[in-house]
Amino acid sequence: MDLDLRKLRYFVAVAQELHFGRAAARLHIAQPVLSRQIRAFEDELRTQLLDRSRRATALTPAGRRLLAEAPALLAAADELTRSVRGTAQLRVGFMPGITVTAEVRALRERRPDVDVVLVRTTWADQVESLHDGSVDIGYVRLPIDRSGLVLRPLFTEPRLVAMAAEHRLAAKESLAIADLADEHLLQEPDSVPEWRDVATELCTGRARPVPAFTSVEEKLEHVAAGAGIIVIPRSATAYYTRPDIVAVPVPELDPHQVCLAWPRGRHDALLAEFVDLAARLNAQVVASR
């Protein structure tokens, strides 16, 4: 039996989303088409991969096994395609605020035969892009779901609190966590446990829901409008500079970790060379601070 890689990519999207509607939107295809393709894939494999009900979609044991192996299979297929074409390619994902110029230039100087493609990722898809093959390796901001990935820590940086420029605390040079107790966080509380532990709205049981933002830009619009605060890495505050928003240091916040991540099971020399370059160059930057 031949494994249909297109259907495998479809399966990975559904398995990660556990929702046919969201997976169809991610793949830019109609939901009925996706459903038919998944059923056809199960028929070809002669096994059920997904348990479907009106309320939820869940992976069967076979589906979990396939999801664990699929990223490596897809990455290997992509690598074989590039090899046959005669052009080596490395697709590098990077988050806003993270500068990758030095290592990309260094790799291009070493390997002029390599086509280095840079792909901007977001908080929402930094992990997804690794699993679906959109990128080969990515600079990710923790925390993330590490399932199926290998991580190499690169550096840490302080986290700051962003607030509207007219906020009562905006003129402070630095803040304590206690100063933010009465503020509304426009993020999931678990992403900032230091705030969660002192937050008045959580302690009194009057927590307001956090909107389902899909980008930092959306969060910043709400911050500028005075709807609440967010905590973001220092490099992101420099990337998203706005006159109506102020970022203030909060020394009690744990530093933010940036890592390189790639699918487990991928061990090609080009990827290893890039990891080595990035680790060495970032170590030099950290040592020079």
Distance of alpha carbon 124 from alpha carbon 127, whole angstroms:
8
Query: Where a domain ends, among 38, 70, 102?
Result: 70
Query: Where a domain ends, among 25, 45, 70?
Result: 70
The pLDDT of residue 6? 83
| pLDDT tens, position by position, 245-260 | 999 999 999 999 999 9
52 and 182 share a domain? Answer: no
DSSP helix, strand, coil percent of the chain (3-state; round to 5): 45, 20, 35
Of the pLDDT bands very low, low, confident and very high (cuts 50, 70, 90), residue 38 is: very high
245 and 264 share a domain? Answer: no
Strand partners, 120: 94
182 and 242 share a domain? Answer: yes
The pLDDT of residue 87? 65
Distance of alpha carbon 244 from alpha carbon 166, whole angstroms:
8
238 and 268 share a domain? Answer: no
The pLDDT of residue 250? 97
The pLDDT of residue 254? 94
176 and 238 share a domain? Answer: yes
Instruction: Name the token pair of 108.
Output: 């291009």
- pTM assigned to the model: 0.68
Instruction: Name the token pair of 245.
Output: 């928003």
Compute how many other C-beta atoms are within 10 angstroms of the C-beta atom of residue 61: 10
Of the pLDDT bands very low, low, confident and very high (cuts 50, 70, 90), residue 60 is: very high
pLDDT of 4 higher than 90: no
Sequence-distant contacts of 195-203: CB under 8 A, at least 24 apart: 195/231
CB 48 within 8 A of CB 39: no
pLDDT of 54 higher than 70: no
Distance of alpha carbon 1 from alpha carbon 123, whole angstroms:
38
Sequence-distant contacts of 37-40: CB under 8 A, at least 24 apart: 37/6, 37/7, 37/10, 38/7, 38/10, 38/11, 38/14, 40/7
> Please, what is the average pLDDT of the chain?
89
The pLDDT of residue 176? 97
211 and 238 share a domain? Answer: yes
Q: The domain that contains 116 carries what CATH number?
A: 3.40.190.10
The pLDDT of residue 82? 64
Residue partners of 253: CB distance under 8 A and separation at least 6: 158, 159, 161, 177, 192, 194, 231
For residue 271, being part of any structural domain is answered with: yes
CA–chain centroid gap for 51, Å, is 27
54 and 174 share a domain? Answer: no
Average pLDDT over residues 65-69: 91
Strands, E, within 158-233: which ranges?
159-164, 230-233
Integer Rg of the chain from CA = 22
**Residues spanned by the domain of 59:** 1-70
CB 227 within 8 A of CB 184: yes
| pLDDT tens, position by position, 191-232 | 899 999 999 999 988 888 887 787 788 899 999 999 999 999
144 and 260 share a domain? Answer: yes
For residue 154, being part of any structural domain is answered with: no
Q: What percent of the chain has pLDDT over 70?
A: 96
245 and 118 share a domain? Answer: no
The pLDDT of residue 231? 96
Count up the domains in the chain and report the number: 3
pLDDT of 1 higher than 60: no
Listed range (32-36, 76-80, 133-137, 162-166) with the worst mean pLDDT? 76-80
pLDDT of 184 higher than 90: yes
Distance of alpha carbon 88 from alpha carbon 110, whole angstroms:
13
pLDDT of 134 higher than 60: yes
